[in-house]
Structure 1
């Protein structure tokens, strides 16, 4: 049994030696090159036909180049051995393929398509390119190169890219000092004393470096993605805010137009009403005057007739006529006593007050448009930081964060008032809670845009009001407002006021006992403007593009500080 197994192994070795390295079949008309390698005549000639005309004649196995085409002589020894194997192939039950070079008819094989995509030996589709041999191989003809551990690359890679530009030899090394690829010959030149390693080692080290940096890159990507989401959320908020503002303006436009229309219609109705009243009175006066005119006209006509009659008769007859016409004389007497009718002057149709109201509305809108064109609405601080404008455009009503309140600070139900007590509240433990200073911060957190709020301090004689970074510590003595680089505040002690930041105090001239203070935070400009009695008391400057919160500190027992609810 062992002898039979050994025989099969020997036959296998013999068959491998009698197999063409191009077609992997038994030699058919074997020929031998001067370098000692043998091939089927047709396989070798086809291989040469598939190469460029000026590339010379190359051995497909060792890649030796022959300037002139070698004389191809039949290798009789190999040919005889092949014939003997074919005759004895049935003796051992072996199947020896003797087709037209396997499943490829070499005689009919033609170079077709892009040579960069086909095996240079059999013209099948190429699987890899062997760098040392500079040949494209299919999966079948790739095996010898894999056994020799040749460097293999994808078919599309150009050999020129894998060779040293200076020496034309394969690139196998990497210079760490220069960061350049090189061949073996380069080590004797300018890279003589440099740190040179094999490409495989450089590749492995690069992978290790990238692997070490990958978590940092991933964390950076997560951070950037978080910031990007924040920006996108702010963009969406800006879109919604703009859309809501436009809808509100449209509603106000409708209401203003409705108000103007109703005012004009009401004024027109009143004008018509007063006109009808005046026309009615004037009509009655006109009718009365027309009646008097008719009576006078009739009396005059009667008198004209009497004058004519008197001219035609004697005095005696006149006396008798007059005596007998006493009624006529009375009528004439009445007419002669006629006096002009006293007319009561009617009120003039005066709408000056109403017109002034409309003119005021027009002027108001005109001024409003001019402010928009000048940008006054976007930057109310340019108009001397008028607090009415700040309330209107940037007003905020902060609410207090109970989780940050010191145990001696009581928070009101509406979360706007902080009151100092001498007894500790049973608040649960929380990392945001102040443990030394009687302080509390708001829930509202700002890092962009402009914001204005007001604080009522009338119920506290001793307090601090301002802002702090969200990152400011909440534990220990260093967490006091104004006592560190991360907080800015106004300090009130009875009627004395000062600006306080990073343990530095600046006295402020604040006449009287102010009850309310305003704070205008411009994150992009890096300014916190403090107001008292409609005038600027102090301006803090810092990096307010990071999250900041309004903050309160109450010193005096039972004293309280209140965030004012601003209605825009």
Structure 2
């Protein structure tokens, strides 16, 4: 550590800090280059420059010469860290010199030179510089602490061992006790290190979990945004459909009423004609002419009046019930789609098992597309191969909620659904839907049905159905079919108690169908 006097000699008189890039004026005084430049700048235009220390005058701006020697000294002093203790050698009385050791017996601090000449006997205990002598001596006997009492866990002096209250106790030297304590501390440190590592692992795990949750939240947010965009689109489509139905009914009623009005206008003209004729008869003076006219009852056609009254009554009103059912069904389909999107997992890894494909079924390379072929595929006649034109998936489902989709737009005769792996592979009973081990949606031309165990449930004709979604809730025992029109349309849900894993199954009578995803 540099002495205070030395540091004071290295202080710039302008900034009062140790020199930075010191320079010298012709008068011999030194300053930081930046400091003296700033002073000289303020003296520009005054006609004379002066030294801030001695007021020596210079007609021209003085040339600043770097003081290399002083620069080296300042850099060296700045590189030496100041002692935090501020303890100096007791015997260096002329200038403070940092203490290297402290002697407890002498209660004196020693610099490097005085340490070399100090008493080396055991009584003179040297340790790091300190001024806390009381902590190093026995509070009772005022002697240096040399031992450690294991029973009382206290540092003691020699007198404590011989005549004090620790006489006869188990004791050790401070070094030995210190090493034991250090060993205990190392063990504690090891345990703490292990706990810290475990804590770090948990922190990393939680951070990873947080990242996963953030990614999941971002994914769900994106999905929700897309879903609400679709909902708004579906609601607009439903609104157009309902308004179109209202307009259709209004046009039908209006047309019917217009026809009735036209008929009644004709009838009104006829009645007016009869009324004019009767008025003419009433004004005639010839009784023969009056009496030769038809009976008065012929002029009144009560049945015709009643018939027109019935027609007016039969015009009817807007079918509000149909409009309400259309709205409810449309909203129900939208809600069903939302539920599927969020409670079910889309099965995108469904591929077809060529070992089960009939030889009239051609499987494309992606193993997601099946087409009816007139060319025999000449596959081995294994027990698991179907004879009818169908194929099942490799993957099966034995729990959870899942859905998968099929593009059926290139076929007008097909069946899609799910079946047990124990389904027959030969004979009519192997066709999906015609047994108690499979469930399917069937189409032939524009006719649709849901079939299980040869029981047919007729669906509406002319469904806009180029894509079909199959939704499975295994635990609930539900298998649902949807038409992915715009908006999605729920077609039918079958309920069963599933006893085996379920495989996706395709039956292609004409054309080709493809599993999406």
Same fold (TM over 0.5): no
Structure whose CA Rg is larger: 1
- Normalising by structure 2, we get a TM-score of 0.40
State the TM-score, normalized to the length of structure 1.
0.37
